[in-house]
């Protein structure tokens, strides 16, 4: 009897040692032969190999708030209307809209995607040379950027700023606009820490959905008021209809409200 008790105790001890594992232990490290002493812990390598049994954790996205956070700029800051063009620069459409703005002697704000700025630095330089304002629109138009960890948001905005500054070293980058307008309060905090003011809009003709120019014109003209910020796109798809609409909208808005710089 005492011998059997001793055996049971020894077996229990073995199970305890091999089966439970500490917090840092993974099941596949459990040795099949408990009598063999465990191999010494290997020196931690600088690049840990991902475990085959542990699935890669999904990126943690914070939920979008039900309402847009407070503090977004949706007004031009004066009685005139401000025009904003998103997602560029684009070699097909950015030069066209620049020519229209130049001809009307007005300026706009260009919300630039970092990858596009890196690819077309001469267009960034031209936008700045012609007196327009700059807005950071994230590195790759990440509609979920605001839901990511603050460090990732910061890295994205800084990378985008670097690409813009590489093309136009002395140009101030005043604004940041979250792609899709999917803002979070955390993102606003990061943008402010980087000296970027959060720019939203008040008039959205949904030109990204390729409505005919007539519809873009009607939507803007029915919604625009003194102090409106109009959202349009000079990149990200076929913008022929936006370009056509602007030929009418720019002179009309200028006459009715004035076209102003964002303040």
Residue whose CB is less far from Zn ion, 179 or 198:
179
For residues 138 and 127, what is the distance between their CA atoms, to the nearest angstrom?
18
Specify whether the backbone of 118 is left (phi greater than 0), alpha (psi in -120 to 50) or beta: alpha
Residue whose CB is less far from Zn ion, 87 or 187:
87
For residues 90 and 84, what is the distance between their CA atoms, to the nearest angstrom?
15
The residue range among 10-18, 87-95, 122-130, 192-200 that interacts with Zn ion, by the rule CB under 5 A, is 87-95
Residue by residue, DSSP assigns 223-259 as: H--TTBEEEEESSSS--HHHHHHHHHHHHHHHHHT-B
Mark residues 171-200: x for contact with Zn ion by CB under 5 A, - for none. Answer: --------x---------------------
Residue whose CB is less far from Zn ion, 131 or 180:
180
Residue 234 binds Zn ion (CB under 5 A): no
Reply yes or no on whether 86 is catalytic. yes
Catalytic residue from among 141, 156, 233, 234: 233
Residue 207 binds Zn ion (CB under 5 A): no
Helix %, strand %, coil % of the chain (to 5):
40, 10, 45
Query: DSSP character for 131?
Result: T
Residue 90 binds Zn ion (CB under 5 A): no
Interacting residue ranges for Zn ion, rule: CB under 5 A:
86-87, 179
Catalytic residue numbers, as ranges? 86, 233
């Amino acid at each position: 009897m005492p011998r059997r008790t001793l055996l049971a105790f020894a077996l229990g001890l073995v199970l305890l040692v091999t089966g439970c594992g500490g917090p840092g232990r993974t099941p596949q490290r459990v040795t099949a032969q408990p009598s063999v002493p465990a191999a010494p812990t290997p020196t931690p390598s600088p690049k840990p190999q991902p475990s085959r049994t542990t699935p890669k954790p999904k990126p943690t996205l914070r939920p979008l708030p039900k309402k847009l956070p407070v503090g977004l700029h949706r007004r031009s800051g004066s009685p005139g209307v401000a025009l904003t063009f998103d997602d560029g620069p684009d070699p097909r459409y950015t030069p066209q809209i620049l020519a229209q703005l130049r001809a009307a002697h007005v300026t706009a704000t260009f919300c630039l995607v970092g990858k596009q700025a890196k690819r077309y630095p001469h267009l960034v330089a031209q936008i700045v040379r012609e007196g327009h304002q700059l807005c950071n629109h994230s590195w790759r138009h990440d509609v979920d950027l605001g839901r990511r960890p603050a460090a990732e948001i910061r890295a994205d905005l800084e990378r985008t700023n670097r690409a813009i500054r590489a093309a136009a070293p002395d140009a101030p980058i005043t604004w940041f606009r979250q792609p899709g307008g999917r803002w979070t309060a955390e993102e606003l905090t990061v943008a402010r820490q980087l000296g970027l003011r959060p720019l939203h809009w008040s008039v959205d003709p949904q030109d990204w959905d390729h409505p005919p120019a007539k519809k873009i014109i009607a939507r803007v003209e029915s919604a625009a008021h003194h102090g409106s910020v109009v959202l349009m796109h000079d990149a990200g798809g076929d913008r022929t209809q936006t370009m056509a609409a602007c030929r009418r909208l720019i002179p009309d808005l200028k006459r009715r409200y004035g076209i102003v710089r964002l303040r």
